[in-house]
Structure formats: structure tokens, C-alpha cells
Amino acid sequence: MSDQPLKIMVIDDENIVGKRLKPALEKTGDIVETFEEGEKALARFAEDPFDIVVTDIRMEKIDGIEILEQILALSGRTKVIIITGYATVEIAREALSKGAFDFIAKPFKPSDLRAIIERASKELRP
């Protein structure tokens, strides 16, 4: 992986997800920002794009599919990773068909997400 830190955005309306992912992902030196509301995350992304966006698929105001579409419209190079629950695997497949890089089902270990992020970073910085 390049020495340049990755900019990673985490979006999940369940507070605990961002709270736990931030320190776990920052351990490798990457820059992590967490959001509980999709609108705020999109506004922040419009100001300053991120390399990787990790977003929950099922959220109240804006769902993960809409976030995926808007992120890719703003920045085609960004890799979007979808977090799903048990009942949303079908929607996750839909997300893949719409350009998501990969998906991970809750509950998951931070190391499992880290492995996906590493694969994404290799595509970002071949």
C-alpha cells in the first residue's frame, strides 16, 4: 500500500458502527470521518471527495443505494463499500450491479472490512 493515507468516509445511522470503526481503521494511519446522516455525509463529500466510502444500506432518510449513486456521480474513482444486514443481501447485490466495490454483512470484524479496503486501495493505486 502507498504511504499516502487513504481518506475513508463511514456512514451509518447506528452510532456504534462509526464509533467502533473509526479507531479500528485509523490504526493503519488512514484518515477516517464518520457520519450518522447521509445528507451531511454527501455535503462533506461534495466539498472534498474521499477515496473510500463505507455506507450502511438501510438508513432512514437516505438509503445506501442513493448514497452510492450520488457518490459515484460526484467521483467515479471513489470505491463504495456497502454494509448490509441479514435481510438486505438482495439489495446488496443490486448495489454491486450499480457500481459498489463490495459489500460486507453485519456483524463483521474490522479486520474483514480492512481486507476489502486493502483490495480497493490496490485498484485506486495500482
The site for another protein (CB under 8 A) is made up of: 12, 14, 16-23, 26, 34, 58, 85-86, 106-110
CB of 27 to another protein, least distance (A): 10
Task: Please give the Cα distance from 111 to 96 (Å, whole number).
Answer: 21
Q: Which of 104, 115, 124 is nearest to 17 (CA)?
A: 104
Pairing of strands 102-105, 31-35: unpaired
Task: Please give the Cα distance from 28 to 42 (Å, whole number).
Answer: 25
Between 19 and 125, CB nearer to another protein:
19
CB of 106 to another protein, least distance (A): 6
CB of 126 to another protein, least distance (A): 29
Between 99 and 108, CB nearer to another protein:
108
Judged by DSSP in three states, 46 sits in: helix
Between 23 and 29, CB nearer to another protein:
23
Task: Please give the Cα distance from 21 to 58 (Å, whole number).
Answer: 18
Q: Are the C-beta atoms of 102 and 120 separated by less than 8 Å?
A: yes
CB of 23 to another protein, least distance (A): 4
C-alpha cell at 25: 481503521
Between 20 and 119, CB nearer to another protein:
20
